[in-house]
Structure 1
Amino acid sequence: MDRINTPAIDSATGPTAEVYAQIKKAAGSVPNTFAVIGAHGPAALKAVLNADGVLAGGSLNKQELETIKLVVSVVAGCDYCVAAHSLLGKLTGLPQDVLKQIRDGQPTGDAKRDALIRFVRVIVQTSGTISVSEFDAVKAAGYSDAQLVDISLAISVTSFTNIFNRINDTTVDFPAVA
């Protein structure tokens, strides 16, 4: 149950209405988390959407992006984002069993994906500079310097929505995951 009041999407005006229209055009509807953020911080929502646009045109493929976003959300304990990125991951072609393995912290059988998952978990679960061995492992898996930038951006954007949803207890409007 949302803690922050959200006016009806259809009653939005100004910058909020503009960003909602952009989302509706792209996705068909406005997910609850975007509705709440947009109602009270349209510039913040626009920044999230702009960052996602940068990532979409960046060096990582859609499956890699959804893998990162799912791992970050699982570590954060954000039920909303776990459900969202499980569905979005499925839409990119990630099989259900792989999505479950990612959520459960199990190997997926894909060495490059598993290296990405490990790297993202280390970044999110630890503080300070990562070890040389962690850096070398993600580079050995085939991730470029440009991809490390995009991985960092994906983690940052996902962390924002995770934190906001944890504050708001946003009502999940995606299929629940076990």
Structure 2
Amino acid sequence: MSRLSVPDLQSATGATGEIYAQLKKAIGGVPNTFAAIGAHGPAALKSILAADAVLASGSLSRRDQEVIKLVISDAAGCHYCVAAHNHLAKLAGVVPTALNQIRSGEPTGDTKRDALVAFVRKLARSSGTVSDEDFAAIKAAGYTDAQLVEISLAFATTVFTNVFNRINDTEIDFPAAA
């Protein structure tokens, strides 16, 4: 059971109720993490959803976005987000074998994806400025300057939900990552 209380989704009112209604309409339900964030910080949830809308309109594929979020969540040890982004990556077309390889740090055989995974994993596990070699590698893999901005945005929103779920111990409502 999650640590923060969440009101009945049907009876939520105000800004929280509006966000829940939008989520139900858009995706058919309200994931536990969004329910808890919205119950206690509707403006924070709106900002995360707005950032996700920016990513959706950008040039990074949905697959790449979910791979980024999976790698960051795995590095952070956020079990909720690993389950969520593993599931969402499958829905975006990443095959289960590749997901297992990504989570275990093995190459997938997709050179561009592997470069993205390596770059994001280094970002998640290090501090300071990215090395010239790492920058050159992600650029050589074909990622544009605009996509580096999008990678940064995906990273930032994922860190927020990772930290929140670790604080809340959010009950996982996605299939476990196998």
**Partner secondary structure for residue 10 of structure 2:** helix
Provide the C-alpha distance between the structure 2 equivalents of 1:16 and 1:5, rounded to a whole number of angstroms: 14
Tell me, yes or no, if structure 1 residue 115 matches structure 2 residue 112. Answer: no
Report sequence identity in percent: 63
Task: Give the CA deviation at 1:103.
Answer: 1.1
Query: Which residue is equivalent to 1:9?
Result: 9
CA shift digits 1:20-44 (9 cap, x unpaired)? 0111011101000000000000000
Task: Give the CA deviation at 1:19.
Answer: 0.5
Provide the C-alpha distance between the structure 2 equivalents of 1:62 and 1:177, rounded to a whole number of angstroms: 18
**C-alpha root-mean-square deviation of aligned residues, in Å?**
0.6
Q: Which amino acid aligns with 2:71?
A: V
**Partner secondary structure for residue 107 of structure 1:** coil
Query: Which residue is equivalent to 2:74?
Result: 74
Task: Give the CA deviation at 1:176.
Answer: 1.0
Residues 91-130 of structure 1 correspond to what in structure 2 (within 5 A)?
A: 91-130=91-130
Structure 1, unaligned stretches of length 5 or more?
A: none
Query: Which residue is equivalent to 1:26?
Result: 26
Query: Which residue is equivalent to 1:171?
Result: 171
CA shift digits 1:41-91 (9 cap, x unpaired)? 000000000000000000100100000000000000000000000110000
In 1, are the aligned partners of 2:81 and 2:162 still within 8 Å (CA)? yes
Provide the C-alpha distance between the structure 2 equivalents of 1:125 and 1:172, rounded to a whole number of angstroms: 24
Runs of 4+ in 1 over 2 A off after TM superposition: none
TM-score (structure 1 length as normaliser): 0.99
Task: Give the CA deviation at 1:166.
Answer: 0.2
Structure 2, unaligned stretches of length 5 or more?
A: none
Task: Give the CA deviation at 1:177.
Answer: 1.8
Query: Which residue is equivalent to 1:48?
Result: 48
In 1, are the aligned partners of 2:62 and 2:92 still within 8 Å (CA)? yes
